[in-house]
Amino acid sequence: MSVRKMIALHPDAKGHANEPMALAAKHAMYCALFATSCADACSAEAMDMRQCIRTCLDCADVCTAAAKVATRQTADDDAMVRAILSACMDACHICAVECDKHDHEHCRLCATMCRECADDCREALATLH
Residues that bind a second copy (CB under 8 A): 1, 3, 5-7, 9-12, 25-27, 29-30, 32-34, 36-38, 40-41, 43-46, 50-51, 53-55, 57-62, 64-65, 67-69, 71-77, 79-81, 83-84, 86-87, 90-91, 94, 104-106, 109-110, 113, 116
Min dist CB 76 to a second copy, Å, is: 7
Min dist CB 112 to a second copy, Å, is: 9
Burial (CB count within 10 angstroms: exposed 0-12, middle 13-18, buried 19+), residue 2: exposed
Min dist CB 96 to a second copy, Å, is: 12
Spell out the alpha helix ranges (H) of the chain.
3-8, 19-44, 50-71, 78-100, 105-125
Q: Give the span between the Cα atoms of 5 and 22, in whole angstroms.
A: 9
